[in-house]
Amino acid sequence: MAPPHKIDFKKFKKRLEAARDELQYLETLTKEGRKPVELDQTQQGRLSRMDAIQVQEMALEQGRRREFELLRINAALQRIGDGEFGFCNRCGEQIEIKRLEISPSNPLCLDCAPP
């Protein structure tokens, strides 16, 4: 498989590594917000507990999204290392350069991407 035309692999690798580092940093910053909510009725009222649980659920969902994006980034870095970066994981065609510029971790071309 020949490398795609006009792709600066070093630039994409640098961007992916920077995005990975930022997501890992955010993961450590938000660790406290994902801890279980203490249900001590003597310390806080029912609405305060509900708010705390809602904030915790949002933090958990953000963590799941970060984890998913980290998987995509690591897969893209692996594709760079394997010489397969820039090709669609489904059909094998080249991914449009503008699509990669927007999201370098994107594994699919426009035709194969879900609607």
Q: What is the pLDDT along the chain (115 residues), one digit of tens a residue?
A: 545 467 899 999 999 999 999 999 988 887 766 566 565 555 556 667 778 788 888 888 998 999 999 999 999 999 999 999 999 999 999 999 999 999 999 999 999 999 8
What's the distance, CA 87 to chain centroid? Answer: 19
Amino acid, res. 87 = F
**Domain CATH code at residue 93:** 1.20.120.910
Give residue 42's pLDDT.
58
- The confidence score (pLDDT) of residue 29 equals 82
Cα-based distances in Å from 74 to 41, 42, 53, 68, 80: 43, 46, 31, 10, 10
pLDDT of the residue at 70: 97
62 found inside a domain: yes
* Measured distance between the N- and C-terminal CA atoms of the chain, rounded to whole angstroms: 28
Does residue 108 fall inside a structural domain?
no
What is the structure's pLDDT at 109?
95
DSSP assignments along 31-50, one per residue: TGGGSPPP--TTTS-HHHHH
With contact defined as beta carbons under 8 Å apart, do 59 and 30 qualify? Answer: yes
- What is d(CA 102, CA 115) in angstroms, rounded to the nearest whole number? 17
Task: Give how many domains the chain has, as a whole number.
Answer: 1
* Structural domain span for residue 86: 9-36+43-102
| C-alpha span between 53 and 33 (Å, rounded) | 10
Q: Decide if 4 is inside a domain.
A: no
